[in-house]
Structure 1
């Protein structure tokens, strides 16, 4: 199994790990040498050395090196579907993928899941300042299957800092019902980008929190006009724009962890901002949102396809 596949273009360099979930482990802007993706404090571990505890959340996190994962067929806490346990954040991000073709500018990978009757493909292609990612989920069975599908890119320093700004084509922000973080109340809807705080103030979610802010946020952006968000980093001298089909992934999970959370796994060591296109709202049904956690059904013998483009925008 190939340990890494590297793509190179004039504007971007990209690394992918077929042996671990087809993770996109780095997206580097070549002029600055800055990787826009976050890396965990323990980095990209050899899976053979990762602990196996039997707790799917602990085991998934032990294998999580940062970067960009694809969460299928589950996202969030483990749950039982059709009598089978689907582990925390799903199977697709931890299993090995096959490299079906690769060259300097493009790679195609595939895998078949066990916890759900799904066949997955992932294609990455560099085109100038853009990375195009096409993911397909195919139901190989003769019956409909509930499938959660979340793209899971996390962005980190030095690209992210307190000067970085967020724009998104969402109209609504929905705070998490169980773990909204340190500043937002649980299970509240608001008009994005402004959200009420637990102190009665208003938080502008367009401004990235700095590494010393001690902030944690978990929420979901929804009601997108078009599937898109942008991060602009004056410190790095460039930004990124991410675009996707909101009819396939109508939501985007918002996760900010700024040296806020004590204990495993972060021990106040994580500084990451993540915006994650998704086909499902996070969590379980709540008073403010009874549709949380309801996975759409993928009909028998059919496929979903997600096209996402990450492009560099020059601020110099």
Structure 2
């Protein structure tokens, strides 16, 4: 199994790991040499061979080196579906994928899951300063299957810092019911971007918190007029734009971890901002949102396809 494949052009270098979830582990803007993706404190080359503890959350996180994963068929805590125990954040990001085709500008990969009757394919292609990612989830069974599907790109320093600005046409932010972080109250809905904090102040979620802020946030952006966001980084001298079709992904999970959380896995060592296109609201049903965690059904012998474009942009 190939440990890393690379896409290269004059604008971008992209690392992909077929041996571990077809993860995108690095996206480097070549003019500056800046990798825009987050890397965990333990980021290392042998992630696919991390020790197994038997706890799916611990095991998934031990294999998480940062970067961009797909969460399929589960996202979030373990749950039982159709008689199978689906592990934390699902199977797709921890299993090896087969390489169908690869050159400097295009990579195609595929895998078949065990915990759900799904065949996944992923095609990555460079086009100037843009990375095009096409993902397909196909139900190989003769019955419908509930499938959670979340794209999981995390962005980190030196691209991310307290000078960054997030722009998106999402109209609503819904905080997590059980783990909203230390800034926002749980299980509340507010108009994006100005939201009320747990202590009654107002915060503008367009402004990225700095590494010394001690902030943690877990919420969900929804009610998109169109599927996209930008992050402009004056420090890096460029921005990024991630665009997607809201038909497969009507929501986007929002995660910020700024040296805030003690204990495993971060021990206050992580600085990451993530906006994650998703087909499901995070968590389980709650008083404020009874539809949380309700996975859509993928019909028998049918497919969902997602096209996502991540592009490097000039600052406004």
Length-normalised TM-score, structure 1: 0.99
CA-to-partner distance for each residue in 1:101-136, whole Å, 9 max, x for gaps?
A: 001100000000000000000000000010000000
- 1:315 Cα deviation after fit: 2.6
Structure 1: stretches of 5+ with no match in the other structure: none
- Does 1:150 find its partner at 2:141? no
Alignment partners' CA distance in 2, 1:194 and 1:253: 17
Other-structure match for 1:314: 314
Cα distance, 1:247 vs structure 2: 1.2
2:151 corresponds to 1:183: no
Per-residue deviation, residues 261-283 of structure 1 (Å, max 9, x unmatched)? 00001000000000000000000
* Counterpart residue number, 1:170: 170
Count of residue correspondences: 316
Query: 2:121 — aligned with what?
Result: 121
- Equivalent residue number for residue 65 of structure 2: 65
Aligned structure 1 segments of 4 or more residues deviating by more than 2 angstroms: none
Question: In the alignment, is residue 99 of structure 1 matched against residue 99 of structure 2?
Answer: yes
Alignment of 1:291-310 (within 5 A): 291-310=291-310
Q: 2:224, 2:130 → 1: CA distance? A: 22
> Structure 2: any 5+ residue segments left out of the alignment?
none
C-alpha displacement at 1:49, in angstroms?
4.5
| Secondary structure class of the residue paired with 1:16 | strand
Taking structure 2 as the reference length, the TM-score comes to: 0.99
Q: 2:8 and 2:21 mapped to 1: Cα distance? A: 21
SS of the residue 2:61 aligns to: helix
Structure 1 position 43 matched with structure 2 position 80: no
Structure 2 distance, partners of 1:112, 1:37, is: 27
Backbone CA RMSD of aligned residues: 0.9
1:240 aligns with 2:262: no
Conservation of the 8 A alpha-carbon contact between 1:44 and 1:64: no
Are positions 1:251 and 2:285 aligned together? no
Residues 50, 62 of structure 2: 8 Å contact kept: yes
Q: Report the CA distance between 1:195 and its aligned residue.
A: 1.2
1:132 is matched with 132
- Residue 48 of structure 1 deviates from its aligned partner by 5.9
